[in-house]
């Protein structure tokens, strides 16, 4: 997830950001990648477009090596059809920034606060300026005496200050998708591996500490606990829950704890239709609301995939989660949701 940010470069590099997309394009505004003299990290998509971006980035690196006081940033426009022969047909504007000391400081600060909303603000024209702002507009990294006010209701975009100077405004928002995954078995491990590449945060819970692998994705927090219901109680509003433990009795207790909350974003329970019927009867007998019981997803996964391999189940469930999370993200943007500040990993 976010390789452009998590990868610390040992050689000079250029940060490439999709700044504007007019019409159809291979990636959305805010997609980013790093370009070095010998390689690249992450992708802005688009085949020929990406090849052109790599060429521009390496040209900037060569120029910077000859003249350190040269162009530090530039904005290039690409007509995908007429210029590049791509069938997308839209127009993409790419921002190129040499990773100098101020931008490196901004990226280092971003790596520490990826669980909080931030904004990058970089000057395209004139003297180099690279700033990191919090959701309230306070400077967290970099220095600048005067900079334009960001429109927080927009995504990545180009704006001009009163002197006509162009700036790249680039939101680096905390993941809105938050999952509590109960169960460290084969399916749970396969799901965690896939979610490690996606914009979300995961709390992975099991009482058996020896079940967790030694390598954990950076967006995953492990909780080895004998009281998993307590984590349900402390979860943020709107969180998603996925229950797949080694014990049906524990699955039952967790399901009841989850459905006792009125602010569940999504809840999936691994199992068959028969398991669902049994759980529904027990939860109804305990007085849980019918509408919450009906909202429980069991069996999990998208329709049409019946393969029971852990990797196949994980692919199906992750696709289902992405569908849910993208719909929630659209709804949150429409209601102008408050900035997200998630607790740091332990």
pLDDT digits (tens, 9 = 90+) for 79-135: 887 666 566 678 999 999 999 999 999 999 999 998 888 999 999 999 899 999 998
pLDDT of residue 53: 94
* Ordered structural domains, the chain, with CATH: 3-172 (no CATH), 177-335 (3.40.50.720)
Mark the ranges of the chain whose per-residue pLDDT is less than 70.
1, 82-88, 145, 332-346
Longest C-alpha distance within the chain, in Å? 76
- Give the residue from 268, 180, 169 showing the smallest Cα distance to 222: 180
pLDDT of residue 94: 96
pLDDT of residue 336: 47
Strand-by-strand arrangement of the 91-98 sheet? 40-42, 32-35, 14-22, 91-98, 73-79
Positions of E strands within the chain = 14-22, 32-35, 40-42, 73-79, 91-98, 118-123, 130-134, 139-141, 157-160, 166-172, 177-182, 200-206, 220-224, 240-243, 266-269
- Give the residue from 325, 45, 19, 54 showing the smallest Cα distance to 171: 19
pLDDT of residue 9: 87
Give me 121's structure tokens.
Answer: 């603000």
pLDDT of residue 334: 60
pLDDT of residue 20: 95
pTM of the predicted protein model? 0.80
Nearest-angstrom CA–CA distance, 13 and 197: 23
pLDDT of residue 84: 61
Q: Which residue has the tokens 């943020």?
A: 236
Residue 52 burial (CB count, 10 A): 16
Enclosing H/E stretch for 50: helix 48-66
């Amino acid at each position: 997830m976010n390789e452009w940010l998590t990868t610390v470069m040992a050689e000079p590099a250029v940060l490439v950001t999709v700044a504007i997309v007019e019409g159809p394009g291979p990636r959305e505004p805010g997609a980013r990648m790093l370009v070095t003299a010998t390689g690249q990290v992450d992708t802005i998509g688009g085949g020929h477009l990406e090849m052109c971006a790599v060429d521009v980035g390496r040209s900037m690196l060569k120029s910077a090596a000859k003249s350190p006081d040269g162009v530090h940033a530039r904005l290039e426009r690409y007509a995908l059809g007429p210029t590049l022969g791509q069938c997308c047909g839209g127009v993409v504007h790419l921002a190129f920034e040499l990773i100098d000391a101020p931008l490196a400081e901004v990226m280092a600060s971003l790596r520490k606060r990826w669980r909080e909303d931030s904004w990058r603000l970089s000057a395209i024209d004139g003297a180099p300026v690279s700033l990191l702002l919090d959701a309230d507009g306070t400077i967290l990294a970099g220095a600048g005496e005067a900079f334009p006010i960001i429109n927080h209701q927009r995504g990545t975009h180009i704006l001009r200050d009163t002197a006509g100077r162009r700036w790249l405004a680039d939101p680096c928002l905390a993941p809105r998708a938050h999952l509590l995954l109960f169960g460290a078995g084969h399916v749970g491990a396969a799901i965690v591996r896939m979610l490690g590449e996606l914009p979300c945060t995961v709390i992975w819970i099991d009482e058996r500490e020896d079940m967790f692998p030694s390598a954990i994705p950076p967006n995953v927090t492990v909780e080895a606990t004998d009281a998993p219901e307590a984590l349900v109680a402390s979860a943020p509003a709107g969180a998603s829950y996925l229950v797949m433990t080694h014990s049906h009795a524990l699955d039952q207790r967790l399901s009841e704890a989850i459905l006792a909350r009125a602010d569940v974003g999504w809840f999936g329970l691994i199992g068959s239709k028969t398991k669902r019927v049994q759980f529904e009867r027990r939860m109804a007998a305990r007085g849980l609301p019918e509408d919450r019981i009906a909202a429980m997803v069991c069996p999990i996964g998208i329709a049409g995939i019946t393969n029971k391999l852990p990797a196949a189940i994980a692919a199906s469930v992750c696709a289902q989660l992405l569908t849910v999370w993208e719909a929630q993200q659209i709804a949150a943007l429409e209601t102008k949701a408050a900035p997200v500040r998630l607790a740091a990993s332990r």
